[in-house]
Homo-oligomer: A and B are copies of this chain.
Amino acid sequence: MERIKPRTLSGFMELLPAPQQQLERFLRVLRETYALYGFTPLDTPVVEDAAILLAKGGGETEKQIYRFQKGDADLALRFDLTVPLAKYVALHYGELSFPFRRYQIGKVYRGERAQRGRFREFYQADIDVIGDGKLDILCDAEIPSIICATFTALGLRRFRIRVNNRKLLTGFYEMQGLSDRAGDVMRTVDKLEKIGEEKTAVLLREDIGLTEEQTKSVLDFMALTRDSVGGAIPEGLRALAGRNETFDAGLSELEAVTRHLAAFGVPEENFAVDLTIARGLDYYTGTVYETTLLDHPEFGSVCSGGRYDNLAGYYIDKPLPGVGISIGLTRLFYALSEQNLLTDEAVTAPADVLVLPMTENLAPAIELATALRRAGLRTQLYTEQKKFKAKLSYADKLKIPFCALLGEDEIAQGVCALKDMETGEQKLLKADEAASAIREKIDAKNAAPLIKEET
């Protein structure tokens, strides 16, 4: 037979079983945490009408999109979960209740140049709250609570949710007479943390043409939240109030977002007001969020989002304001793996226990497997005719935590020999006792955080 060399496309993540189990745990944590906040799961097609996905059109999106014909149809793979959400809400507007809260965890596709850590197929995990006509600022205030609950459930403590409001920036630049160059200034200020004040000042003056005074004002403004932690709003920021309506609106929104941190269960050290955060320039209109891992700033923002005025203007004549966040799950998972930051304490084996029959008559081993499954344990019945040593080595390789051995003696006594593969300890136990012993140990193992933190 002529053979084809098997391969997986570059930029498409395909994991071995153990890391896949770790990714599944991530997915489970995200699904459960998002659900706790009253978001309903959605599942939209991976393939959509290209004209619909590209309604906004333009730029990088159009270049990166996977687009193709099938018969007369002009199709494309979704490149994010926001455009499909906009289509969904516009299409089903009459059947939804607002505020509409949905989460979606799904694969999206971008034909980027393949390089380390960049994926062409990757999971995004999004939540959005969509209002019909208006949406209370309390929705914005709840978002940090969701981010915090998510990362805490993943095992992290050393992360910071950084929050800003675009209206503060817009208002400030208006006050400075910089409205026409606000976009350029924001793009430059975005580099502040990376390149420092001095170099930023040079760029602001030389590239964007700010005066010495304007440059100083911008940098002084940004410095108001330098190193700030917690929900307190700097006095210097409040001092700017009363001169520009947009600025004042932003300040009042920011106050609403920071006011209830404690009630929302967000520790002060996981939160910061940060005036340098701007996010995408043409989409967000109010609150914006970034989240960084304090020990891994090189990952960039691992969870970002913000408030927008109108979700679905390309499809429907209704103002649909919303607020949402997105986690680039595949990329985060890859970065954590690369840095060896995933714990391996939780069970990554396909089973919690391997039942090893050692007699001709298989019925007792099958019955034991059935009993363990009914007790909710992931149980594999070892079926192959191999030497005892080979069977144990199979369990070892897969890191199956327990083996339940069943020979003539055990069967006669109505027990199994339960072997803890970590300690080597072996005990004669009845099926229900074995089930409890296994449950206790694997529950403890699976309670381990998913992500390691340096101490």
Contacts and interface: CB of A to CB of B under 8 A. Distances in A.
A71 B397 CA distance: 41
Contacts of A187: none
Interface stretch (A291-299, A359-367, A418-426): A359-367
A196 interface: no
Contact of A350 (B101, B134, B379, B383): B101
Query: Among the interface residues A36, A38, A43, A385, which one has the most CB atoms of the partner chain B within 10 A?
Result: A38
A351 interface: yes
B71 A68 contact: no
B9 A49 contact: yes
Given A4-B315, A9-B75, A363-B263, A350 B45 contact: no
B9 A48 contact: yes
Copies of this chain assembled into the complex: 2
A271 to B, nearest CB: 15
Greatest chain B CB density within 10 A among A41, A314, A316, A363 is at A41
Contacts of A149: 373
Contacts of A3: 313-317
A363 B394 CA distance: 55
Nearest to A67: B68
A453 interface: no
A88 interface: yes
A314 B17 contact: no
A8 B87 CA distance: 8
A138 B380 CA distance: 12
A300 interface: no
A240 interface: no
A354 to B, nearest CB: 8
B383 A99 contact: yes
Contact of A24 (B24, B41, B69, B394): B41
Contacts of A66: 47, 68, 70, 75
Nearest to A64: B70
A8 to B, nearest CB: 6
Interface in A87-102: 87-88, 90-92, 95-97, 99, 101-102
A14 B88 contact: yes
A131 B36 CA distance: 41
A215 B192 CA distance: 86
A21 interface: yes
Interface string A281-321: 00000000000000000000000000000001111110000
A8 B88 CA distance: 8
A139 B381 CA distance: 9
A15 interface: yes
Interface residues of A, number: 105
Interface in A1-56: 1, 3-9, 12-17, 20-21, 23-24, 35-49, 51-52, 55
Contacts of A373: 36-37, 149
A345 interface: no
A75 B47 CA distance: 14
A126 interface: no
A3 B52 CA distance: 10
Contacts of A47: 9, 12, 66, 77, 109, 120-121
5 contacts: A1-B313, A37-B373, A66-B68, A131-B384, A145-B370
3 nearest CB pairs, A to B: A38-B380, A68-B68, A40-B350
Interface of A: 1, 3-9, 12-17, 20-21, 23-24, 35-49, 51-52, 55, 66-71, 73, 75, 77, 86-88, 90-92, 95-97, 99, 101-102, 107, 109, 111, 120-121, 131, 134-136, 138-139, 142, 145, 149, 260, 263-265, 312-317, 349-351, 354, 362-364, 366-367, 370, 373-374, 376-381, 383-385, 394, 397-398
Given A135-B384, A136-B385, 6 more contacts: A3-B315, A8-B87, A20-B42, A36-B373, A40-B350, A263-B370
